[in-house]
Amino acid sequence: MEKFLSDIPWGLLLVVCLTLGLAPFNPPHIVEKLQMLFKGKLVRPLDWFDLFLHGTPWILLLLKALFTLRK
């Protein structure tokens, strides 16, 4: 996993987070899906897919930062 994350450039990961991770921008889709998750309203498969799609770049960025700081 560390090798995979180290191969992803920081710039690319940041661009993906700011585009796919926040799209659509008003309000960010990831915020809507997280609110639905916390309220227990994330029930449709499409909503789960959206959460996964828009959340993956943020998770990768967090993991890359953690692995980098750990070194």
Convert the pLDDT of each residue in 11-62 to its tens digit.
Answer: 999 999 999 888 888 888 889 999 999 999 999 999 999 999 999 999 999 9
Q: Rounded to whole angstroms, how far apart are CA atoms 68 and 62?
A: 10
Quote the pLDDT of residue 29.
84
Among residues 52, 68, 70, 57, which one has the least CA distance to residue 14? 57
In the 8-state DSSP scheme, what is residue 1?
Answer: -
Angle CA 16–58–49, to nearest 5: 90
Angle at which helices 29-39 and 45-70 cross, to 10°: 110
Quote the pLDDT of residue 48.
94
- Residues of the domain holding 64: 2-70
- In one-letter notation, the amino acid at residue 60 is L
How many domains does the chain contain in total?
1
Quote the pLDDT of residue 58.
95
Q: Rounded to whole angstroms, how far apart are CA atoms 21 and 50?
A: 10
